[in-house]
Amino acid sequence: MSIDMGNFTPLFSLVGGVVIGVAAAVLILFNGRIAGISGILGGILGASRDEAGWRAAFIVGLIAAPVLASMLGKPVMPDIQAGWGELIVAGFLVGIGTRYASGCTSGHGVCGISRGSVRSLVATATFMAAGFVTVFVLRHITGGWGG
């Protein structure tokens, strides 16, 4: 394994991590809510007007942040080596996983682990293991994405 030094951005990564941590802390301190994306998005439809407002603002912020970042500098475009069908199936499977795990990687990994939740530690370890196995199988056993 090697690091692509042309795309290695430790400062931006550090700043991004700090911003995520601060946003999660602000949400729990001022709103009493955990910054779990699946819960925020999943609760937007049946929420009261007050609840829907902060949830919508959070989702808009998630979409606006990379747009703003690309306007401030070089746009960051990930190299996704999968087709639309694979992305849709993957998204569906992630959605099922978040329902079974009672939350997503952001809720468990960022907020749950920082609160010392054993359930979140187990959920995050399971998410990571499933991701590692999936990438290994798709890249080394099946011959690549869509192969």
What's the rounded Cα separation, in Å, for the pair 111 and 103? 11
Q: What is the pTM of this model?
A: 0.68
Per the structure block, which two tokens stand in for 107? 């809720």
DSSP reduced 3-state for 30? helix
**pLDDT tens digits, 20-69:** 889 888 888 988 888 888 888 888 887 788 788 888 988 998 889 888 88
DSSP designation for 108: I
CA 96 remoteness from chain centre:
15
- The residue extents of the domains of the chain are 1-77, 80-147
DSSP designation for 127: H
What's the rounded Cα separation, in Å, for the pair 22 and 28? 10
Per the structure block, which two tokens stand in for 140? 């080394």
**pLDDT tens digits, 94-141:** 888 888 888 888 788 888 888 889 999 999 999 889 889 988 887 787
pLDDT confidence of residue 147 = 47
